Amino acid sequence: MGELRTELVELLPRLRRFARVLARNPHDADDLVQTAIERALAHARQLRADAPLAGWLFGIVRHAWIDEQRSRGRRGRLFAAAEAADEVADPAHGAPLDAIAVQDAVARLPDEQRLAVALVLVEGLSYKEAAHIMEVPIGTLTSRLARARDALQALLGERDGA
């Protein structure tokens, strides 16, 4: 258990980044990570010695996220939709930082596409690892990823010098 805790601490930055792609805001993202840590420690026996710890933890964060969305229910979806409709304030000061534009575009993707983006584009996992965490065949993952890319290109448009 001591070893697991040490590795958990080392993986915290990546878990936070992964959750940040999924959740509505940084606070909710850290809540997901907190839930995942507690579940991981409670189910440490299920971890196979030969399985990569990061992948197992990403899967736990994903489940925590799905549970959280279910419990949030209709009210939450309405709130999220209203929030997504709000534009970044202060148009007088030119385009927002690119990171904000990209995060905003990712936030508009359907959940399953956002998950594929988080695992493959942000976390750099292989298709095989990502499909395993998402519990779908690789073909499903690649088509979600392709749709996500199309949507992101459409939302973000061309950028000079890119």
Partner 1 sequence: MTFSEETLGAYADGELDAATRAALEAAMSADPRLAERVARQRALRARVQDAFAPVLAEPLPERLLASARGAAAGQRPDNVIRLEPRPRARWSWPQWSAIAASLVLGALLGPLLLGPLLPGPPAGNAPVDTRAGRMLASGVLSRALSDQLASAQPPGAPVQIGVSFRERNGTYCRTFIVQGASPLAGLACREQSAWRVEALARGAPAPGGTAYRQAASALPRAVAGTLDELIAGEPLDAAGEAAARERGWHP
Task: Give the interface segment with partner 1, choosing from 42-50, 58-66, 69-77, 95-103 (CB under 8 A).
Answer: 95-103
Is 117 an interacting residue with respect to partner 1 (CB under 8 A)? yes
Nearer to partner 1, 49 or 92 (CB): 92
Angle between helices 98-107 and 138-156 (to 10 degrees): 130
CA distance 20 to 103: 9
- Binds partner 1 by CB under 8 A, chosen from 81, 90, 95, 154: 90
Residues 11-50 that bind partner 1 (CB under 8 A): 12-14, 16-17, 20-21, 25-28, 30, 33-34, 37-38, 41
Write the DSSP string, 50-106.
TS-HHHHHHHHHHHHHHHHHHHHHHHHHHHHHHHHHSPPS-GGG-SPPHHHHHHHHH
Nearest by Cα to 60 from 15, 29, 17 = 15
Binding site for partner 1 (CB under 8 A): 5, 8-9, 12-14, 16-17, 20-21, 25-28, 30, 33-34, 37-38, 41, 83, 86-90, 92-93, 96-100, 102-104, 106, 117, 120-122, 124, 126-127, 142-143, 145-146, 149-150, 152-153, 156, 158-159, 162
